[in-house]
């Protein structure tokens, strides 16, 4: 993490250990950097797993491996490689994943299918198997590390370590959820975002864990965008060790199921917001709330059209109250919209309504709002009851600087 720290960064939280989860890090040397870049997190026997993975038609072999392993619902470890996405690498890439899973399984005395693998970084370069093996061997003998060390190790262009926690009461017991995530660019998730890993000591059956994670994803990771680009490697995995001792959750009707779902949703939203706050070159955190659409799905499409508009994002970067660009983004979304029913606000100030600028509209409070770091844009389509909220960041010269020489 050598780029200047994002002005939207949040401090790393104080995170508790999760019983049954032990993180380790090592340096495999995937890039010419002096930092750890391989994370090996072991999970006690009996750990359940669920996941949401990229819908990209060009997924990495790690994504394909995890998709197959998730069917079995059990996990003993996750291996994360940073600096090399191992995507679009053919048979050599697949072989690297198989070697990593087999080597970790041999260390833990389990099946390769119990090992989950994720990689992030440059696309099109096969993951060096020799470096992966040496990095794994170093991780096997490394002392357990802190959550912050593990989080820093999974990062690439991230400027700060991103993590969060929540708790819930399930079956009379307090269960804890901890999540770590990396992501800064190539963020327009079509399921989840970049690489995120969630750990809980709750006892949760795999099918219910999957349902809860999928539900949480829809209102969090799938509602953020930095640059409209979806990664080949997006993966969010949730692991439940069962060490809290509660009666395993297996159904939405179980006592404590609602509390667990709410905690997981809260955790995912915290993590998703942190990714946007570390958007490459970002100086503004932008919330876009669309109401009055014909359906929730229509509202989400319109909101993402606004959030992904380079013209909207650069206007916000320049602190320019150019609400006409919002009108443009609504109109191009391809969803039902009526010009003369449209209303737009910046912060608490209504700027346009009924197809016109608000009579007597004073731009001063909007200009003041845009000088802050947290920006709110509200759009009422005026046609129905559909609503959606998405989050994005502004588009600055910093984004170009980071991505113009990403491989060097």
Residues in binding site: 156, 182, 193, 280, 403, 408
- Catalytic one among 39, 42, 193, 392? 193
Q: Please name which of 107, 127, 111 lies closest in space to residue 37, comparing C-alpha atoms.
A: 127
Tell me how far CA of residue 263 lies from CA of 108, 165, 181, 249, 251, in angstroms: 31, 9, 17, 14, 16
Paired with 195 in beta bridges are 182, 235
Pairing type for strands 74-84 and 115-122 reads parallel
CA 327/CA 330 separation, integer angstroms:
5
Q: DSSP of 325-367, one letter per residue?
A: HHHHHHHHT-S---GGG-EEEETTEEEEETTEEPTT--SHHHH
Q: Which tokens in the block code for residue 167?
A: 């708790």
Displacement of CA 141 from its chain's centroid (Å) = 30
What residues are designated binding site for substrate?
A: 156, 182, 193, 280, 403, 408
H or E element, residue 299? helix 296-307
H or E element: which one contains 261? helix 257-277
CA 135 to chain centre: 25
**Known active-site residue 193:** yes
Tell me if residue 183 falls in helix, strand or coil: coil
Q: E strand or H helix at 98, and its extent? A: helix 90-108
Please answer whether residues 290 and 388 qualify as being in contact, where contact means their C-beta atoms are separated by less than 8 angstroms: yes
Q: Which two tokens stand for residue 221?
A: 């990771």
Long-range interactions of 395-400: CB distance < 8 A, separation 24+: 395/227, 395/281, 395/310, 395/313, 395/314, 395/317, 396/281, 396/282, 396/283, 396/314, 396/317, 397/281, 398/280, 398/281, 398/282, 398/283, 399/185, 399/227, 399/279, 399/280, 399/281, 399/282, 400/281
Residues annotated as part of the active site: 193
């Amino acid at each position: 993490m050598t780029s200047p720290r994002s002005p939207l960064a949040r401090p790393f939280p104080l995170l508790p250990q999760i019983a049954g989860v032990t993180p380790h890090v090592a340096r495999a040397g995937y890039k010419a950097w002096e930092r750890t870049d391989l994370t090996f997190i072991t999970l006690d026997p009996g750990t359940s797993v669920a996941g949401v993975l990229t819908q990209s038609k060009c997924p990495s072999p790690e994504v394909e491996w995890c998709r197959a392993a998730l069917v079995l619902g059990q996990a003993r470890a996750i291996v994360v490689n940073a600096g090399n996405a191992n995507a679009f690498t053919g048979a050599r890439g697949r072989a690297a994943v198989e070697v990593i899973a087999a080597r970790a399984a041999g260390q833990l005395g389990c099946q390769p299918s119990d090992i989950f693998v994720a990689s992030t970084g440059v696309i099109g370069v096969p993951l060096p198997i020799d470096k992966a093996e040496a990095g794994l061997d170093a991780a096997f003998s490394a002392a357990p590390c802190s959550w912050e060390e593990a989080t820093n190790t999974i990062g690439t262009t991230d400027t700060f370590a991103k993590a969060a926690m929540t708790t819930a009461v399930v079956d009379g017991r307090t269960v804890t959820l901890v999540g770590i995530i990396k992501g800064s660019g190539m963020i327009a998730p079509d399921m989840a975002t970049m690489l995120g890993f969630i750990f809980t000591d709750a006892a949760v059956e795999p099918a219910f864990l999957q349902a809860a994670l999928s539900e949480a994803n829809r209102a969090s990771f799938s509602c953020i965008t930095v640059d409209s680009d979806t990664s080949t490697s997006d993966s969010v995995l949730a692991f439940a060790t069962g060490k809290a001792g509660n009666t395993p959750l297996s159904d939405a009707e179980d006592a404590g199921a609602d509390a667990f779902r709410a905690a997981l949703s809260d955790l995912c939203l915290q993590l998703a917001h942190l990714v946007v706050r570390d958007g490459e070159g970002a100086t503004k955190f932008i919330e876009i709330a669309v109401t009055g659409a014909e359906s929730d799905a229509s509202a989400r499409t319109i909101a993402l059209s606004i959030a992904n508009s380079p013209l909207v994002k650069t206007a916000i970067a320049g602190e320019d109250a150019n609400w006409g660009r919002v009108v443009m983004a609504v109109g191009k979304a391809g969803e039902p919209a009526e010009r003369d029913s449209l209303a737009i606000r910046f912060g608490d100030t209504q700027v346009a309504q009924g197809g016109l600028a608000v009579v007597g509209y004073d731009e001063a409070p909007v200009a003041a709002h845009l000088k802050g770091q947290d920006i709110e844009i509200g759009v009422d389509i005026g046609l129905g009851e559909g609503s959606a909220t998405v989050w994005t960041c502004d588009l600055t010269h910093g984004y170009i600087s980071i991505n113009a020489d990403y491989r060097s």
